[in-house]
């Protein structure tokens, strides 16, 4: 299957230039040869406008373009960037028929559908600048023999830090106090009656992969009761270090938590996972932090539970879809602390994922393997977290 597109479309030269064809001896010559070819690379990033000039390290923006333009063009490659990604009239769509590499990000996601993949006859490589490639139809990409890779680890610290901030903001009931300040008010009671310490509370993470583990490590000194649910137990060393207890049964964990943090990728299994029934299994007034993906939640179920008080506070930076339309109900629900999708695109994160994309492009041109943990689709197979 991995070779399907390569086999059916000679002009795409998949087998001669895709890193996914590596791993067998003798192929390096063909790939080194491939490196001399000029490639058309398209990047879809959020536009910075007046903010572009305010920070020289703002490489994650359209204007920053990952800081790789000179490097790419000096090697004879074509590099087009755009933020216009939706529909058949978009700038992105114009380049779909002849691009070789498409770079996208979760923050301003270009949805790479099966139809787009079919139209992208020259496409070989889909790179995600950041983490989370669910905006790509991964099964279609696999069926077409494409390689999909992300910069695994590039912004896990960024996201974990942001989660801890959101936990604290909900537990401490920050926003009502802030609103008082900007509205000229002062009413300590209206904040304090539902402000708590994090200490002593039960915090559970649904998923304890790279981000979940970093969160648990950062929660450790807060003296909470830490729980985690995942497909597999963590190494005993890490369990000991964080003091987190494994909960094999998700529902059982949810019923114990004062705070639930979602740290699982969006897959066919997790899509809509937190629906009315699941939320009803949580403690009354539970606080939920979700920086994973908006579509893991049933949108209306979250709104209803925030309105009824079943959810005491909801914070995250992920929405379905993105950008969230003006009338997205999460903008208007009570006790939310939402932002646009930013937690993984700090300046520090941008510099790391820009470096990671450059490294993978360099390897692609040279016909070298990517770091193993970066592959999301390789040789027709999805990475284990997406299965």
Q: Which residues are annotated as a binding site for substrate?
A: 131, 155
Stretch that binds a second copy, among 11-19, 20-28, 58-66, 377-385 (CB under 8 A): 58-66
Residue 155 bears catalytic tag: yes
Q: Which is nearer to a second copy, 51 or 76 (CB)?
A: 51
- Is residue 3 close enough to count as binding a second copy by CB under 8 A? no
- Is residue 187 close enough to count as binding a second copy by CB under 8 A? yes
**Least distance CB 108 / a second copy (angstroms):** 6
What DSSP character marks residue 43? E
- Is residue 258 close enough to count as binding a second copy by CB under 8 A? no
Residue 322 bears catalytic tag: yes
**Least distance CB 102 / a second copy (angstroms):** 19
Q: What are phi and psi of 128, to 5 degrees?
A: -100, 120
What is the distance between the alpha carbons of residues 373 and 387, in angstroms, rounded to a whole number?
15
Active-site entry in 263, 322, 350, 374: 322
352 and 105 in contact (C-beta within 8 Å)? no
Residues 126, 232, 200: CA angle, nearest 5 degrees: 110
Q: Which two tokens stand for residue 212?
A: 């979940």
Q: What are the percentages of helix, strand and coil residues in the chain, rounded to 5?
A: 40, 15, 45
- Is residue 283 close enough to count as binding a second copy by CB under 8 A? no
Q: Which is nearer to a second copy, 138 or 333 (CB)?
A: 333
- Is residue 82 close enough to count as binding a second copy by CB under 8 A? no
- Is residue 228 close enough to count as binding a second copy by CB under 8 A? no
Closest-CA residue to 135 (of 386, 359, 387): 386
44 and 110 in contact (C-beta within 8 Å)? yes
Buried b (16+ CB within 10 A) or exposed e, 268-291: eebebbbeeebbeebbeebbbbbb
What is the distance between the alpha carbons of residues 69 and 150, in angstroms, rounded to a whole number?
19
- Is residue 342 close enough to count as binding a second copy by CB under 8 A? yes
Q: Which is nearer to a second copy, 94 or 323 (CB)?
A: 323
The residue with tokens 């009931």 is 173
**Least distance CB 187 / a second copy (angstroms):** 7
* Residue numbering of the annotated binding site: 131, 155, 210-211, 230, 265-269, 291, 317, 341-344
Task: Provide the β-strand partners of residue 206.
Answer: 229, 262
Among positions 30, 47, 278, 358, the unique one binding a second copy when judged by CB under 8 A: 47
Active-site entry in 12, 77, 124, 155: 155
What angle separates helix 156-172 from helix 174-182, to the nearest 10 degrees? 70
Name residues contacting a second copy, limited to 348-367 (CB under 8 A): 348-350
- Is residue 284 close enough to count as binding a second copy by CB under 8 A? no
**Least distance CB 178 / a second copy (angstroms):** 6
**Least distance CB 76 / a second copy (angstroms):** 30
- Is residue 197 close enough to count as binding a second copy by CB under 8 A? yes
Name residues contacting a second copy, limited to 316-335 (CB under 8 A): 317, 322-324, 326, 330-331
Q: Which is nearer to a second copy, 35 or 217 (CB)?
A: 217
Closest-CA residue to 110 (of 82, 89, 143): 82
Active-site entry in 328, 341, 352, 363: 341
Sign of CA dihedral 377, 41, 136, 123: negative
**Least distance CB 309 / a second copy (angstroms):** 11
- Residues known to be catalytic: 155, 293, 322, 341
């Amino acid at each position: 299957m991995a070779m399907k597109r390569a086999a059916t479309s000679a002009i795409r030269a998949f087998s001669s230039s895709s890193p996914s064809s590596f791993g067998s001896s003798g192929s390096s010559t063909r790939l080194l040869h491939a490196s001399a070819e000029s490639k058309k690379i398209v990047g879809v990033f959020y536009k910075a406008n007046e903010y572009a000039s305010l920070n020289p390290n703002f490489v994650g923006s359209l204007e920053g373009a990952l800081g790789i333009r000179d490097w790419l063009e000096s090697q004879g490659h074509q590099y087009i960037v755009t933020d216009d990604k939706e529909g058949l009239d978009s700038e992105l769509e114009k380049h779909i028929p002849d691009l070789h590499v498409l770079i996208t990000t979760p923050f301003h996601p270009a949805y790479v559908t099966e139809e787009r993949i079919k139209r992208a006859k020259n496409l070989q490589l889909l790179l995600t600048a950041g983490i989370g490639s669910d905006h790509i139809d991964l099964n279609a990409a696999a069926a077409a023999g494409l390689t999909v890779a992300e910069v695994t680890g590039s912004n896990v610290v960024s996201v974990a830090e942001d989660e801890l901030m959101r936990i604290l903001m909900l537990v401490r009931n920050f926003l009502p106090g802030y609103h008082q300040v900007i509205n000229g008010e002062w009413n300590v009671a209206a904040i304090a009656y539902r402000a708590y310490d994090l200490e002593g509370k039960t915090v559970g993470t649904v998923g304890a992969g790279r981000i979940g583990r970093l969160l648990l490590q950062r929660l450790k000194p807060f003296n909470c009761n830490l729980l985690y649910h995942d497909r597999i137990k963590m190494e005993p060393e890490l369990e000991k270090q964080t003091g987190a207890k494994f909960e094999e049964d998700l529902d059982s964990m949810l019923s114990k938590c004062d705070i639930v943090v979602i740290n699982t990728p969006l897959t066919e299994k997790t899509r809509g996972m937190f629906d009315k029934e699941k939320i009803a299994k949580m403690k009354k007034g539970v606080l939920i932090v979700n920086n994973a993906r908006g579509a893991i939640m049933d949108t209306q179920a979250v709104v209803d539970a925030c309105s009824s008080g079943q959810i005491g506070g909801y914070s995250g930076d992920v929405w379905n879809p993105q950008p969230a339309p003006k009338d997205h109900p999460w903008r208007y629900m009570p006790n939310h602390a939402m932002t646009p999708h930013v937690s993984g695109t700090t300046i520090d994160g941008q510099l790391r994922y820009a470096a990671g994309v450059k490294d993978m492009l360099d390897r692609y041109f040279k016909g070298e393997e990517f770091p193993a943990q970066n592959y999301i689709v390789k040789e027709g197979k999805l990475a284990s977290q997406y299965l």
